[in-house]
Amino acid sequence: MARVPYPKKEDLPESERHIYERMARERGTGHIWLAIANQPKILDAMVSLANALRNDTAFERRYRELGVLMVGLVTKSDYEFDHHWNSALQAGVRREQLENLAQFESSPHFDDQERAVLRYAKEATETGNVGDATWSALRRYFDTRQAMEVVLTVAWYNCVVRILLPLQIEHEPGFKRN
């Protein structure tokens, strides 16, 4: 059970209910968002950031999902990994890639560009730093804007798992990984 309640709109002050409505409309009512709803004004800012990272980026969605999955794998966040497994399939990541994610460096299911994203996400998540070779590999495939999108996406999902894990956020009832 999560360490914080999942509030309903009616649990919030009248003046902040519009934030809850925006969350529900734009992000849904997944447990992560409901937990953050305990602090509505911060929720509002986080919804804006999450929307920008999802909808206003130039790099392909499948690269985004690979980076997010690596964050979930490295941090052992089942919630993050499972939810983005489904998103990755929708974005065009192949099932055999998902099944071989932990072995991405040696697996024939990944190309060099995918490995560059995965390596970046793994290093940034494990230590907060990335080696020069990792950065150079990422920049071979992504211009400055796209590289920043990779950096910001990986950073954001590291923030997300640092909310999920200590609050012990569990899967929503009926959630299934495809």
Considering its fold, how many domains does the chain have in total? 2
Tell me what pLDDT residue 17 has.
98
Residues 91 and 32 in one domain: no
178 in any annotated domain: no
User: Residue 121 sits in which domain range?
Assistant: 61-167
Residues 117 and 30 in one domain: no
Residues 77 and 149 in one domain: yes
173 in any annotated domain: no
135 in any annotated domain: yes
175 in any annotated domain: no
Residues 44 and 81 in one domain: no
Contacts of 69 (CB under 8 A, 6+ apart): 81, 84, 85, 88, 93, 98, 101
Residues 38 and 87 in one domain: no
25 in any annotated domain: yes
Residues 74 and 43 in one domain: no
119 in any annotated domain: yes
Tell me: the pLDDT tens digits for 53-91?
999 999 999 999 999 999 999 999 999 999 999 999 999
Residues 97 and 82 in one domain: yes
Given a contact cutoff of 8 angstroms between Cβ atoms, the answer to whether 118 and 66 are in contact is yes
Average pLDDT over residues 89-112: 98
CATH no. for residue 163?
1.20.1290.10
Tell me what pLDDT residue 126 has.
98
Residues 46 and 95 in one domain: no
Alpha carbon 127 to chain centroid distance? 18
Percent of the chain clearing pLDDT 90 (strictly above): 99
Residues 83 and 45 in one domain: no
Average pLDDT over residues 86-112: 98
21 in any annotated domain: yes
Tell me what pLDDT residue 65 has.
98
The mean pLDDT value of the chain amounts to: 97
Average pLDDT over residues 152-158: 98
Contacts of 17 (CB under 8 A, 6+ apart): 9, 10
Separation of alpha carbons 72 and 142, rounded Å: 23
The reported pTM is 0.95
The letter for the amino acid at 75 is: T
Nearest-10 crossing angle of helices 144-167, 61-75: 40
Categorize the per-residue pLDDT at 144 as very low, low, confident or very high, splitting at 50, 70 and 90. Answer: very high
Tell me what pLDDT residue 94 has.
98
Residues 78 and 158 in one domain: yes
Residue-wise DSSP of 47-88: HHHHHHHHHS--S-HHHHHHHHHHHHHHHT-HHHHHHHHHHH
Residues 74 and 96 in one domain: yes
89 SS3 class: helix
Separation of alpha carbons 82 and 167, rounded Å: 17
Tell me what pLDDT residue 107 has.
98
